[in-house]
Amino acid sequence: MLAFFRKRRRDAVRRESFPPAWREILDRNVPCFGRLPAEDQQELLGHIQVFLDEKPFEGCGGLEITDEIRVTVAAQACLLLLHRETDYYPELEVILVYPSTYVARGREVREGGVVVEGDHARLGESWSRGSVVLAWDGVLAGAADMSDGHNLVLHEFAHQLDQEEGPADGAPELPERSMYAAWARILGREYERLLRDEASLKRTVIDPYGATNPAEFFAVVTEAFFEKPRKLRAKHPELYEQLKAFYCQDPASR
């Protein structure tokens, strides 16, 4: 019953007129929007409206939340939802936004298994229950250049997809159970390849940060899929096909 009323409310929100001021923000801050096919643009506008209707934002470090911040973040987060059955990041309760790089307490496992705790400068992070944290200047930089392979919002919201069924492990919930075997085989092999390339300092299409662990690998290849699709398809065709099937999009063809 709750699902029925939630769907009806979301459908009503999508039917509302998209505010012209929000469209101006998209045109100014999210240039990839204008490169989408018209039907994808319309679908994305509806997703943005639902996302902003359901997900609260909070400013940190003295930052005041504005529609510019909300729309810019929502547009990129919802790009991952196009053409897919979605519940709009169900574990996400709030988006916290800092003006720029912030310092957070954390722990780091170094060589030999030594664990070091301390303060670390960060641009963003995704918590398995409740929050995504973003640096506003990082959000703007990632949206401005959709060809450099670096996008903070895509990265952190890929983690949210990964965390919908438990701790992030590089295996989000796939549309069909039959897809898991190929996903594990291909992404596992590509992850090991990145580990070897990173150790030999070989340049790769995939950001070496993806060699940190399988969860970071999934987030990093998501960035590459949307921002360097043709290069990723050329160098890692099977990986590209797995992401294409998961995201139900083919950015290399655009």
Q: Kindly report the CATH number assigned to the domain that includes residue 235.
A: 3.40.390.10
Q: Which domain holds residue 249?
A: 169-254
User: Residue 6: inside a domain, yes or no?
Assistant: no
Q: Are residues 144 and 185 in the same domain?
A: no
User: Residue 62: inside a domain, yes or no?
Assistant: yes
pLDDT score of 65: 98
- List the CATH number of the domain containing 51: 1.10.472.150
Nearest to 159 by CA among 201, 105, 213, 115: 213
User: Residue 3: inside a domain, yes or no?
Assistant: no
On whether the CB atoms of residues 154 and 222 are closer than 8 A, the answer is yes
User: Residue 63: inside a domain, yes or no?
Assistant: yes
Q: What is the pLDDT along the chain (254 residues), one digit of tens a residue?
A: 778 889 999 999 999 999 999 999 999 999 999 999 999 999 999 999 999 999 999 999 999 999 999 999 999 999 999 999 889 999 999 999 999 988 776 655 544 554 556 556 777 899 877 899 999 999 999 999 988 999 999 999 999 999 998 889 999 999 899 999 999 999 999 999 999 999 999 999 999 999 999 999 999 999 999 999 999 999 999 999 999 999 999 999 98
Q: Are residues 179 and 139 in the same domain?
A: no
49-53 long-range contacts (CB < 8 A, ≥24 apart) are: 49/13, 49/14, 49/16, 49/18, 50/10, 50/13, 50/14, 50/88, 51/77, 51/78, 51/88, 53/10, 53/13
Q: Are residues 144 and 247 in the same domain?
A: no
Asked which of 132, 162, 192 is the last residue of a domain, the reply is 162
pLDDT score of 107: 59
Name the region of 148 (left: φ>0; alpha: ψ -120 to 50; beta: rest).
alpha
Q: Are residues 193 and 145 in the same domain?
A: no
User: Residue 5: inside a domain, yes or no?
Assistant: no
Across-strand partners of 126? 132
Q: Are residues 231 and 132 in the same domain?
A: no
User: Residue 2: inside a domain, yes or no?
Assistant: no
Q: Are residues 158 and 173 in the same domain?
A: no
The total domain count for the chain is 2
User: Residue 126: inside a domain, yes or no?
Assistant: yes
Q: Are residues 78 and 144 in the same domain?
A: yes
pLDDT score of 105: 65
Rounded Cα gap, residues 25 and 75, in angstroms: 10
On whether the CB atoms of residues 124 and 101 are closer than 8 A, the answer is no
Q: Are residues 176 and 235 in the same domain?
A: yes
Give Cα separations from 49 to 25, 37, 241 (angstroms).
Answer: 14, 19, 30
Q: How many CB atoms within 10 Å of residue 153?
A: 26
Q: Are residues 18 and 111 in the same domain?
A: yes
Q: Are residues 46 and 113 in the same domain?
A: yes
User: Residue 116: inside a domain, yes or no?
Assistant: yes
Asked which of 125, 143, 162 is the last residue of a domain, the reply is 162
Angle, helices 20-29 vs 136-144, to 10°: value is 70
Q: Are residues 102 and 151 in the same domain?
A: yes
Q: Are residues 185 and 225 in the same domain?
A: yes
Q: Which residues contact 115 (CB under 8 A, 6 or more apart)?
A: 107, 108, 109
Backbone angles phi, psi at 44, to 5 degrees: -65, -40
The answer to pTM > 0.85 is yes
Asked which of 135, 162, 189 is the last residue of a domain, the reply is 162
